[in-house]
Chains A and B, each alone.
Chain A
Amino acid sequence: MPQLNQLLLVYQSQWFWLALVLAAIYFGIGKGMVPKIEGVVEGRNAKIAADLAAAERARAGADEAEERARAADLAARAAAHEVTSVAKAKAAKDAELRLAKADAEVSAKLAAAEASLSAARKGAMANIEAVAAEAAQDIVAKVSGAKVTAAKAQSAVKAVFANA
């Protein structure tokens, strides 16, 4: 086994070069380059964490804004609803009022018209009685030749009319 046979001849050289190489790796790479690379990794991880936190914050902000917008929307809807219902109520009241007024006017006109109608009818009735009495006087005179007084004819016509 050369490792044993040569040991005394080579161990000093082996240890010298090993010490050299290990020192170079330890100080040059292990203490020099590794922390830099680790720093890059840590920086990246920190950046990722920060970006994630920022995204989370942005999302929370968006959520809040959405919530606000929804609330505002609801409030606006409620306000609009109120305005329309007030307007509707007012319109209904107005219409009612106008209707009542028109109703009153119409009924007043109707009453006047009825009154004038009944007056006219009364007048017409009186005329008809007079005409009918005259006609009855004439008819009696022509048919029987008897003379009937106007008052008698009138009362007879009145009795007939009252029976009719």
Chain B
Amino acid sequence: MAAESKIDPMHQFQIDALGGGVLDGTPFIFTNSALWMLIVFGAILLFMWGGMKRELIPGRWQAAAEMLTGFASGLAIGNIGPEGKKYVPWIFTVFTFILFSNFMGMMPFGVFEAAHPFTVTSQFSITGVLAIISFSIVLIVGFWKHGFKFFGLFVPHGTPLPLLPLIVPIEMISFLVRPFSLALRLFVAMIAGHILVDVFGYFIVNGINAGTPMGYFVATLSFVFIAGVNALELLVCAIQAYVFALLTSLYINDAVHLH
């Protein structure tokens, strides 16, 4: 059966209804995507709960949880300033949700087919919502704090008057493109890495099934390569979560302080 397997690296992004339901475009249908979101939430909850011992001298787990919260609040307060404390929950939410989703998608549970992990952040319907929420916070905070002066964001300091007709549209486009770049960056990084891992995984299986020396050679080469790609992917998982949280806090900083 495996010998006839065709390379279909996109299959891992397929959303299926679980529990006997059918995908019918309604909100309450339970899917593998929803399941893995809940698993991600459970993992975050477990991790934080384990770090809630609140001891004066932290154990390893508590130190790890404190490091995570310290990282999120450091991002918010470091980039936004003291008023960034209000935005710590959201920065923390996007950072941990993306980080855990990315890592969860890399877990080798797939050796049991039923437990094949689903990478939530490889769906732009997910990353898009995250980006839109972040962008909405920027808009709401910006207009709330500065009113129409918020449009001053499109006029950098010291721009010569004659250049304004050129600069303002450019600034505006670069501002409006932010949610898309935010969503697509994460989505593309996840999907590309997973396709790469998947394709080389198929090379290993097919190479071994071919049974020829060339097949074994290709399988061995792919195995070595895939080990490296996996390590790189783990790095990308963390970096993408960091980048998303960092850019969110930078954009919020723009909204809070203008330029």
Contact = CB atoms under 8 A, between A and B. Distances in A.
Interface in A1-59: 1-3, 6-22, 24-26, 28-31, 33-34, 36-38, 40-41, 43-44, 47
A30 B44 CA distance: 11
Interface in B161-204: 187, 191
B81 interface: no
B186 to A, nearest CB: 13
A12 B26 contact: yes
Contact of B23 (A10, A17, A24, A41): A10
B235 interface: no
B245 interface: no
A43 B15 CA distance: 46
Interface residues of B, number: 54
A2 B56 contact: no
A6 B40 CA distance: 22
B92 A30 contact: yes
Nearest to A27: B89
Interface string B21-40: 00111111111011001101
A9 B34 contact: no
B23 A9 contact: yes
Label chain A's interface by main secondary structure.
helix
Contacts, number: 134
B125 A3 contact: yes
Given A26-B93, A28-B45, A33 B27 contact: no
B66 A40 contact: yes
Contacts of B28: 13, 16
Contacts of B55: 40
A34 B33 contact: no
Given A9-B25, A37-B69, A2 B34 contact: no
Nearest to B133: A22
B136 to A, nearest CB: 13
Interface of B: 10-11, 13-15, 23-31, 33-34, 37-38, 40-41, 44-45, 48-49, 51-52, 54-56, 58, 65-66, 69-70, 72-73, 88-90, 92-93, 96-97, 120, 122-126, 129-130, 133, 187, 191
Given A11-B125, A13-B27, 6 more contacts: A9-B23, A10-B23, A13-B26, A13-B28, A19-B129, A30-B92
Interface of A: 1-3, 6-22, 24-26, 28-31, 33-34, 36-38, 40-41, 43-44, 47
21 contacts: A1-B13, A2-B15, A3-B124, A9-B25, A10-B25, A11-B25, A13-B31, A14-B123, A14-B126, A17-B30, A17-B34, A17-B37, A19-B129, A22-B97, A22-B133, A25-B97, A34-B73, A36-B52, A37-B51, A38-B88, A40-B58
